[in-house]
Amino acid sequence: MDLGLEGRKAIVCASSRGLGKACALALAQAGCDLVINGRDEKTLDATAAELKRAGVTVTAVLADVSTPDGQKQLLAACPEPDILVNNNGGPPHRDFRQLDRQAILDGVTQNMVTPIELIKAVIDGMVARGFGRIVNITSTSVYKPIAGLDLSSGARAGLTSFLAGIARTVAKDNVTINNILPGAFDTDRLRNGIRFGAEKSGVAPEDEAEKRMAEIPAGRFGTPDEFGNACAFLCSSHAGYITGQNLIIDGGAYRSAF
């Protein structure tokens, strides 16, 4: 399917690896020129080189997107994006009793304040041009809280509610805002979590992985390509009638009729 994105400009945050990289790759394959972002220079440069093979322009911004300076660099590299994919690492697994005020503020800044600030910076330009696609990568923990990830879940749930009304105010201008809620995807972060869980339980990593996959109706972990292609569709010219939605991609793990 032609997504109608040839020549569009996209900012994809935290995109040197994992699901952010998968989104950038799918958009590159659809013909988008990209600004990508990461904090590890070697990894970021390698990703940029890979994306350029799709024949698109790729600008790599080495910065922390949570900081005002990092956001300034991204927007300087692409002042008028057609597409914004918000992504960022979440706070580490921690019992909420161990969180002090600064840790809470940092978590909310990472996963709520930062995407809102970037959306504020680009949305009026999208409205003026009559096209805009904003996709926020959140988590299924917004619907299904995970003990120890309370700060991440709370910040992302706050972002979801904050944007729900805003999405309706710009829909008539062909600007959409949607969220993708990933479950278990085969990324470095998941593999690290499996190793940690295996060590804690005293089992082999392969056994821990099999145990986790058995809890997923699809019987497997998702692939980054599946996630990236879903993101690219929400960014496409065909998705203008989809806004304010939360797309769960988790192999059926979240068990709900609605």
The topology (CATH level 3) of 9-183+223-248 is Rossmann fold (3.40.50)
Contact yes or no for 158/108 (Cβ under 8 A): yes
Listed in sequence order, the residues at least 6 apart from 64 whose beta carbon sits closer than 8 Å to its beta carbon are 39, 70
* Cα–Cα distance list, 72 to 61, 77, 118, 161 (Å): 10, 9, 9, 26
The side-by-side arrangement of strands in the sheet containing 83-86 is: 58-62, 33-38, 9-12, 83-86, 132-137, 175-182, 246-249
pLDDT (0 to 100) of residue 98: 93
Query: Encoding tokens for residue 217?
Result: 């109706």
Closest CA to 81 of 71, 90, 89: 71
**Count of CB atoms within 10 A of residue 96's CB?**
13
pLDDT (0 to 100) of residue 258: 82
Which ranges of the chain does DSSP label H, i.e. alpha helix? Answer: 18-29, 41-52, 68-77, 101-108, 114-129, 150-170, 188-201, 205-214, 224-234
Q: Which amino acid is at 231?
A: C
pLDDT (0 to 100) of residue 146: 84
pLDDT (0 to 100) of residue 48: 98
SS3 category, 235: coil
Q: Where are the domains of the chain?
A: 9-183+223-248, 186-221
pLDDT (0 to 100) of residue 142: 92
Stretches in the chain below the pLDDT threshold 70: none
pLDDT (0 to 100) of residue 204: 93
Query: Encoding tokens for residue 187?
Result: 């990324």
Q: What are phi and psi of 53, to 5 degrees?
A: -65, -15
Closest CA to 250 of 151, 154, 139, 150: 139
